[in-house]
Amino acid sequence: MIAAHLPALQIVLPLAAAPLCLLLRRGTLAWALALAASWAALVCAALLLRQVLISGPISYELGSWAAPWGIEYRVDAVNGFVLLIVAAVGAVILPYARTSVAHELPEEQHATFYTAFLLCLTGLLGVTITGDAFNLFVFLEISSLSSYVLIALGRDRRALTAAFQYLVMGTIGATFIVIGVGLLYMATGTLNMMDLAERLPPLAGNRTVLVAFAFLTVGTGLKLALFPLHFWLPNAYAYAPSVVTGFLAATATKVSVYVLLRFFFTVFGVGYSFEVLSVGKLLIPLAAIAILVCSTVAIFQNDVKRMLAYSSIAQIGYMIMGIGFATTTGLTAGILHLFNHAMMKGGLFLALGCVFLRVGSVRLEALHGLGKRMPLTMFSFVLGGLSLVGVPLTVGFISKWYLVQAALERDDWILAVVVLVGSLLALVYVWRVVEAAYFKPAPEGAAKVEEAPLSMLIPTWVLIGASIYFGIDTSLTVGVARQAAAQLIGGAS
């Protein structure tokens, strides 16, 4: 009985908990409720993915309105996997949030924070689960609006301008998406994705569909910080509260990448997107530039959070490159990296949150000598950093293995080299932090620093541990990613 309504529960639970958090007013109570809601969401996501892997895609009619008219929730291997990523990151980060938020935000804002956090989680889950193009836009707006709030809560006054910048760019992106969806509706008379997938192929030469495709690509590109559309991201990540940065870095861009996948492969179909329009020829060069340029920019950042933000843009480049190949191996690489990057970048940002809690800054100079003073935190950072580089036995290596394979399948040597050069650039920026933390002496007269509390260390280590574990035992991640890739390439079904 309940199992049948899992797709609805996935969204309803965090959505209902959000306003309750606001009503509770007390920070601790709100936190407890948010924690419960996020764990419930994780259970739902895990059960859904299990069901999908066993018995194939699930279709759920919201409010029992039949599909093309009502809103359909549709879970297959692709979004089942993304749901799990988002829900898992949410569930891991909330225990961490309590101490970090208590430290970084004034007491009266705590309840608001958890409300916005849950709304953001709801929005991201909603975007992922829905099978309706317009509903997708609605959830996208829910997640975006709440993330503007979350970023603006940052203590630094620059957080306000960062949030504003993101607001402007994000709204442009969302507008483009809604225009695209509107044009699709104009051409086909439907908003259901499955329905769209059936009706679009005969309209391949239609100019309206072409324009819709362009609007959707650019709009989603803005949301996922595709290379020349990434300017909002570094500031937003650098000035947001630590928890928010960790959460958004691990989930928000991943969900946008998923949206891109969904539109390219399911709605428009791989034939239209990659053969008729050859969007790969646009995506791959942009991805390659993102990898090279943003990794290089990251090297010159002195704010470690900002450095990781630039690294994120480069890492998104890896995903987009995999998608741009439009082959099973390439897609596997892209989808794998979705998960892998969520684990390592989430873990890295959480480790930085620990540093911020104890030291009050995440500039490179502030990290001097921390290897000795906060050994567990800094060691988790080293492991996460090695994963970014793509050292064997970390998830980063697995992603790169598939991505380079995909490039070699096309006999594309230049791209294979670009991916590997990206790794080496990552080594340079990661190593600046390692040297600062382990081989530079602590500044004279620095205050005594103790290790971060367990409530923050454990979530950090869960994510970092996952980024090691799934680098060694890849059966789950590679298995799901392959299946998802095969499904997307296989067409709409």
Binding site for another protein (CB under 8 A): 386, 389-393, 398, 401, 404-405, 408-409, 416-417, 420-421, 423-424, 427, 431, 435, 438-441, 472-475, 478
CB of 392 vs another protein, minimal distance in Å: 4
Residue 260 or 404: the one with the smaller Cβ distance to another protein is 404
Q: Which of 343, 349, 360, 368 is nearest to 434 (CA)?
A: 368
Spatial distance between the Cα atoms of 246 and 208, rounded to a whole number of angstroms: 39
Spatial distance between the Cα atoms of 31 and 81, rounded to a whole number of angstroms: 26
**Farthest-apart Cα atoms in the chain, separation:** 73
Residue 55 or 475: the one with the smaller Cβ distance to another protein is 475
CB of 408 vs another protein, minimal distance in Å: 5
Spatial distance between the Cα atoms of 208 and 460, rounded to a whole number of angstroms: 47
Residue type, 158: R
CB of 424 vs another protein, minimal distance in Å: 6
**How far from 172 is each of 126, 144, 221, 245, CA to CA, in Å?**
20, 12, 11, 22
Spatial distance between the Cα atoms of 365 and 436, rounded to a whole number of angstroms: 7
Residue 185 or 438: the one with the smaller Cβ distance to another protein is 438
Residue 16 or 417: the one with the smaller Cβ distance to another protein is 417
Residue 40 or 446: the one with the smaller Cβ distance to another protein is 446
Spatial distance between the Cα atoms of 319 and 333, rounded to a whole number of angstroms: 7
CB of 316 vs another protein, minimal distance in Å: 21
Spatial distance between the Cα atoms of 101 and 389, rounded to a whole number of angstroms: 30
Residue 259 or 437: the one with the smaller Cβ distance to another protein is 437
Spatial distance between the Cα atoms of 308 and 385, rounded to a whole number of angstroms: 10
CB of 472 vs another protein, minimal distance in Å: 6
CB of 435 vs another protein, minimal distance in Å: 6
Residue 231 or 438: the one with the smaller Cβ distance to another protein is 438
Residue 171 or 405: the one with the smaller Cβ distance to another protein is 405
Spatial distance between the Cα atoms of 373 and 362, rounded to a whole number of angstroms: 15
326 φ/ψ angles, rounded to the nearest 5 degrees? 55, 35
Taking a C-beta distance cutoff of 8 angstroms, is the pair 399, 337 a contact?
Answer: yes
CB of 55 vs another protein, minimal distance in Å: 24
Residue type, 12: V
CB of 466 vs another protein, minimal distance in Å: 16
Residue 106 or 441: the one with the smaller Cβ distance to another protein is 441
Residue 241 or 369: the one with the smaller Cβ distance to another protein is 369
CB of 317 vs another protein, minimal distance in Å: 17
The gap from C-alpha 278 to its chain's centroid, in whole angstroms, comes to 25
Residue 119 or 433: the one with the smaller Cβ distance to another protein is 433
Spatial distance between the Cα atoms of 72 and 401, rounded to a whole number of angstroms: 36
CB of 327 vs another protein, minimal distance in Å: 13
CB of 324 vs another protein, minimal distance in Å: 19
CB of 69 vs another protein, minimal distance in Å: 43
